[in-house]
Every structure is written in C-alpha cells, then in structure tokens.
Amino acid sequence: MADVIVLANADERDLRQLAEYRAVGGYTQLERVRGLEPAAIIDELNTANLRGRGGAFFPSGRKMQFIPPKEQIPKPHYVCVNADESEPGTFKDREIMNRVPHRLIEGSLIAAHAIDSQHVFIYIRGEYLDAFETLRTALDDARGAGLFNGVTVVLHRGAGAYICGEESGLLESLEGKRGQARSRPPFPAASGLYASPTLINNVETIATIPKILELGGAEYAKIGAPPDSTGTRLFCLSGNVVKGGNYELPMGITIREVIYDLGGGIPDGRALKAVIPGGSSMPILTADQIDVPLEHDALRALDTFLGAAAVIVVDDRACMVQLGLRVAQFYMHESCGKCTPCREGTRWMVQLLEAIEAGDATHSQLDLLLDVCDRILGKCLCPLGDAAAMPVASYVVKFRDEFRAHVDQGGCPFGGESSLEDLFAPVDQHTHHPVAEVPA
Amino acid sequence: MARPLADEVRAIAEQYPESTSAVLPALRIAQERHGGWLPPEALEEVGEALDLTPAYCKGVASFYDMFHLAPVGRRLVEVCTNICCGLRGAQDVLQAFERELGVQPGETTPDGAFTLRAVECIGGCGWPTVVAIDDRHRLNVSAGDVPGIVQELRGG
C-alpha cells in the first residue's frame, strides 16, 4: 500500500475529478498545513529526506531553506513547477499531470506556503497538449472551490526546447526570452524569476509532498532505500522491453526486476546488451550490471546516476556508435548555443561519430572523441553539454571493441542490420529548411 | 469575429508581473491565426501588443521548435525519432509516412495539406513509436498503421 505514493488511488478512481481527489483525502494536507508555520513543513520534508526527482537529487527541504525571508529580500517569492519533462526516456511527469493533477496542485500550494509565496508558475512543455488541458481543468476546479486562498497559479506552456527543463533556461523562457542558461551565482533561491527569490521543483517532487505530510516524514523515510534514496519513483521503462510504461516503485528495486518481472523481458527472443538507468544523458550499464538496485548510492558506485529514473533497455541489435551518434545529435540540436564547449563540442562529437560509423575514422579519433567529451564536462553554465559527453564517453569506454571494429572494418560491423540504422535526426531536417528563410 | 489579437495578448499578459512573459503564448496565438506559421506581420502584431520589436519576437520564436517561420501544411504530422522510439522502429514509421505523403521530413505536400516532420523526443517513450498529429499524440504506432492514419486524415 505504502509502495504507491504519487499515483495512490489513481487506479481505482478518476482523480482528475476534484470530488474524487477529495474523497481520498485530497487537499486535507493543504488545509492542515496552512495553519502551521512554514518551518514545520520543511522539517517534515527534511525528515522524509525528499530529493529532487528531476534528476539532480538535491534535498528538497534544504532547497526551500535557501529561500531568504522576505525581511531580507523584500520582493515577491515565486514557486516554479518544472513540468518541461524533455529528457529522452522520461515520460513520468506526463502521467502525473494526466492522472493526479490535483496532487500536483496541492503540492504546489503547500510549497508556496512553505516559502511564503503567493505566486505559482507551472511551466509545462508545449508538446504535452493533453496534460496541459487536464491540468488547466483541474486548476479551474480547484480555483473555483476556493482552494487557492489568494495564491495565483499560472499554467505556462513552453514551445519546444529541451534546455527549458534546465532551471535557469526555464526562468529565461518564462520571462519571455530565448531559453538560454544563466550564469550562477546568483542562484534562483536569491535571484530567480524576475530577479526574485524562486523555488524550482520538478513535478514528481512537488506531487510527492502531500503524501509525505499525510504519512509523516519519518514513515516516508522508511520506504525505498534509506537513508539517501527514500520513497518511490515513477520508473519510466522504454526501449527493447515487452511492457514499457511508468511503474511507481520504491527505490532500491533492481534493474533486473524492472525489466524482467515488471517489463516482461526483452521481446523477439533477443539478448540484453545494455541499459541506460536514468535517461539519455546518463552513462550506460552493460548487461552484467543489471543487478544493481535503482537507488542513488549504488548507481554512483557504478559511475552512473538514477537521473530522472528513466530505464532505457537496449538489445543486441543496436550499434553503440549509432546510439552515441543519435544521442549526440539530440544534444547538439538542443544546445542553446551560449557556452562554446557545448555548442562546438557537441558538433565535433557528431562529426567524429559520423566518421566512425562511416568507417572513415582512425583509432586515435576514438581517443579524440573521449578528449572532446572531457573538454565539455563541467565546463559550461548548465549541464546540457555534460548530458551529451557523459553517455557518449561511457559508450566508447564500455563498448570500445565495437567502436574499434568500425575502424578496423572500415564501416559498421552490423552491416546495415542495426536497429538504429539510418535513424533520422531532426538536425538534418533543419538543413533542408533553415528557420532563417522567411519569405518576404 | 475573433477577438483582436492585441486584446487577447494583453489579457494574457496581465497574469504575469512583466508583460514580456506573454511572448510565448502570444506567438502561439498568432501562429494559430496565421495558418500555423509566423509570417512577418504576425511578429509585428505580437510586438505591437507587447511593446516589443518584431526582431525580438523573431529572435524568441526562432529558438523554439514549435514555432514555424516558414509556411506549413494544414495538418502537422510529427514522428519521434529519438532513441527510445528508434530502438523500436521509428524509422520504419517515418518512412511509411514519407511513402504515403510523398514528401521528405521537413517538407509539405504540394496541396498544402500536410507537413511531415521528424521530431526529438516528445515524451511517450514507453509507447513507441509516438506520432503527434497537430500536437495530439498517437501511441504505439507501427509502420503498418500509417496508411490507415493518412487515409483517416485525408477524410477517407
């Protein structure tokens, strides 16, 4: 029972309906905590050891404590809910907004109370039209029921840019600009939206808050893999697996259990080759590493991360050079262009991977590729460049023989039979129709 | 008679502490009113409503994939070709649309009915291949489904 937190009761009832959500205790925590000091809420989240579900795993209570009191910075305080879920492999926030929108709204209003804010912005990715409409209806219902208590909640649609899921890109975009990363410091807690103190949290993080307050932080902290990886995650299972989808489970379940017990294994009688544990930006694991529990510390020990808990399964038909190329093309396309190592480095990565795949590369260029990755890592204003460099470097290191075979054979050893053969990247599409070509 | 764009945009802008925040919603409305893309006059209208230059509006619009600065077809067919869909045959789905519509990704059919695009991950990775038609997602699309989808979109 306690194993389902964020999606609790969503299988039995239509929790998009306000009355249904209230029937399972919805909004009672909001009403209760409005009578409490904000510090009491934050203490409970710290006891629960809630960590950011967007990928960074930062302690959520501590993030709230970074917001200075209004006496110190006499400006409005803002809550920004990051619903710009765009990392390839992740589709959990979509499920939360589609199925338990009121839990997200309740969590947002509790977060607003916790930082003494009257203003909530929910930045939802533009591609999520259905979730946008569901959330808009839920917001209208909650507002109509008088639950906002003077707080304004603005639902803001993005327009297609991965970088706007990065907190500073999100703030720029919400201010009506190109979504380019900001230099930090100042950090959003002191100077975020409209240069005011701003709390930014992922949808899943916010949607977990009401249940933590209902259970109590200490009870919540027993779920999952304490002390660091407490609670549940919505694991997004995709790739070469029979039953892809979202599975809410306590942290600490192994990758093997997720793939074989829940996901029904690998289809078409194929063999498992690799698993990406947290979304496309995360270093890859090989088939012999899947007994690792999906929790922070165990994955760190294998030099990867839980990220946004997106488990991407790769079977033996996939060429790892092609996988690396497609990942690099994505981040090249999504680089905002502000920092040179990311803007130029991702292009260079793509060129090297194209040469390797075509059989035109030398062995030394495999090391050059790793060197380019190294010269991006940690050298930019935001982690987008890292998101390209980390996974691709891991493919080269872990599947070095396959990369070498491309060089030795003068082409792809899969001979056109890879599952990712000729996968189209929209960067090519842009060269057909450059956006600058506006008819007079 | 539709409400004037400037009125609608200014009403949206009132939700925000600073009116520039309304650029994205304003561009979206302008795009809807101009047949799915943003011709120069659309950028001028948005600029006028929010006291911004058309160049600023174009600078913002060009950053985001969902704004189109060249004409598009009446229906937008977008196929995800990122890795999760790719591992499960997205290229076959894309090629099926190419065959059925007779255009390459990024192109519009000569009758102006369809623009076909390949797009980066649109967040339905567990249900490949994901195809967005005018922003409505169809999940678990296979190449074999494509002729039927195109026939349905053509009203047949």
Task: Please state the rounded mean pLDDT for residues A57-75.
Answer: 96
* Pick from B23, B119, B120: CB nearest A176: B23
Which pLDDT band, with edges at 50, 70 and 90, does B156 fall under?
A: low
How confident is the model at residue A1, as a pLDDT? 44
Cross-strand pairs, A99: none
Hey, what domains does chain A have and what are their CATH numbers? 18-222 (3.40.50.11540), 230-315 (3.10.20.600), 320-420 (1.20.1440.230)
CA dihedral A296, A301, A303, A309 (to 10 degrees): -20
Contacts 24+ apart (CB under 8 A), A18-25: A18/A102, A18/A138, A18/A141, A18/A142, A18/A145, A21/A100, A21/A102, A21/A103, A25/A214
Q: Could B18 and A236 be called an inter-chain contact, meaning their C-beta atoms sit closer than 8 Å?
A: no
Residue B7 has pLDDT above 50, yes or no: yes
- C-alpha separations of A284 from A2, A320, A412, B53 in Å: 31, 10, 20, 46
- Given a cut of 50, whether residue A432 has pLDDT beyond it is no
Residue in B with minimal Cα distance to A175: B21
Confidence (pLDDT) at A429: 72
CA gyration radius, chain B: 18
Contact list, A178 vs chain B (CB under 8 Å): 59-60, 63
Partner residue opposite B60 with nearest CB, options A178, A326, A333: A178
Residue-wise pLDDT tens digits, A325-371: 999 999 999 999 999 999 999 999 999 999 999 999 999 999 999 99
Q: What does the alpha-carbon distance between residue A274 and residue A395 come to, in Å, rounded to a whole number? A: 10
Are B88 and A429 in contact (CB < 8 Å)? no
Contact between B64 and A161 using a beta-carbon 8 Å cutoff: yes
Nearest-by-Cβ selection for B60 from A176, A426, A436: A176
Task: Report the C-alpha gap between A140 and A136 in whole angstroms.
Answer: 6
At A312-336, the pLDDT tens digits run: 999 999 999 999 999 999 999 999 9
At A434, the pLDDT band (50, 70, 90 cuts) reads very low
Question: Which chain B residue's Cα is nearest to A78?
Answer: B17
Pick from B17, B63, B132: CB nearest A178: B63
User: What is the per-residue pLDDT for A181?
Assistant: 97
C-alpha to C-alpha distances, B19 to A89, A158, A166, A198, A398, nearest whole angstrom = 35, 16, 23, 19, 50
Strands (E), A308-362: 310-315
- Per-chain mean pLDDT for chain A: 96
Q: Is the pLDDT of residue A412 over 50?
A: yes
Phi first, then psi: give them for residue A300, nearest 5 degrees.
Answer: -60, -35
| Residue B108 per-residue DSSP state | B
Give tens-digit pLDDT for A112-160.
999 999 999 999 999 999 999 999 999 999 999 999 999 999 999 999 9
| Nearest of A381, A372, A367, A323 to residue A346 by alpha carbon | A372
Neighbours of A142 (CB within 10 A): 23
Q: How far is CA B38 from CA A210, A305, B8, B19, in A?
A: 42, 41, 17, 20
A83 contacts A124 by C-beta, under 8 angstroms: yes
Q: Check if the beta carbon of residue A217 is closer than 8 Å to that of residue A46.
A: yes
| pLDDT band per the 50, 70, 90 thresholds, residue A439 | low
Rounded percentage of chain B residues whose pLDDT exceeds 90: 96
Domains identified in chain B and CATH numbers? 5-61 (1.10.10), 75-153 (3.40.30.10)
Residue A80 one-letter amino acid:
C
Integer Cα distance of A101 and A137 in angstroms: 9
- Share above pLDDT 70 across residues of chain A, in percent, rounded to a whole number: 97
pLDDT value for B1: 54
Across the range A33-42, mean pLDDT stands at 96
Question: pLDDT tens digits for A212-245?
Answer: 999 999 999 999 999 999 999 999 999 999 999 9
B32: burial class by Cβ within 10 Å (0-12, 13-18, 19+)?
exposed
Please tell me the distance in Å from A25's CA to the nearest CA on chain B. Answer: 30
Q: Which residue of A has its CA nearest to B24?
A: A176
Indicate yes or no: CB of A327 within 8 angstroms of CB of B118.
no
Are the beta carbons of A426 and B122 separated by less than 8 Å? no
pLDDT over 90, % of chain A: 96
Q: What is the pLDDT of residues A179-202, one digit of tens each?
A: 999 999 999 999 999 999 999 999
Which residue type sits at A148? F
Residue that is written with structure tokens 């981040």 in the block: A331
pTM comes to 0.96
Q: Which residues of A touch B119 (CB under 8 A)?
A: 426
Q: Which of A80-84, A201-205, B3-7, B129-133 has the lowest mean pLDDT?
A: B3-7
Determine the distance in angstroms separating the CA of B156 from the nearest CA of chain A, rounded to an integer.
Answer: 26
Q: Do A426 and B69 touch (CB under 8 A)?
A: no
Of B18, B27, B124, the CB nearest to A194: B18
B144 min Cα distance to partner chain A (Å): 17
Residues of chain A neighbouring B20 (CB-CB closer than 8 A):
175-177
Query: Residue A428 has what pLDDT?
Result: 72
**pLDDT 10s digits, B36-55:** 999 999 999 999 999 999 99
Distance of residue A44 Cα from the nearest chain B Cα, in angstroms: 32
- C-beta atoms of B83 and A419 within 8 A: no
How confident is the model at residue B3, as a pLDDT? 81
Distance separating alpha carbons of residues B149 and A141, to the nearest angstrom: 35
Split at pLDDT 50, 70, 90, the class of B87 is very high
Q: Is residue B24 predicted with pLDDT exceeding 60? A: yes
Asked if residues A96 and A103 have their Cβ atoms less than 8 Å apart, the reply is yes
Least Cα separation, residue B101 to chain A (angstroms): 16
pLDDT in tens, B111-150: 999 999 999 999 999 999 999 999 999 999 999 999 999 9
State whether B71 and A439 contact (CB < 8 Å).
yes
pLDDT at B113: 96
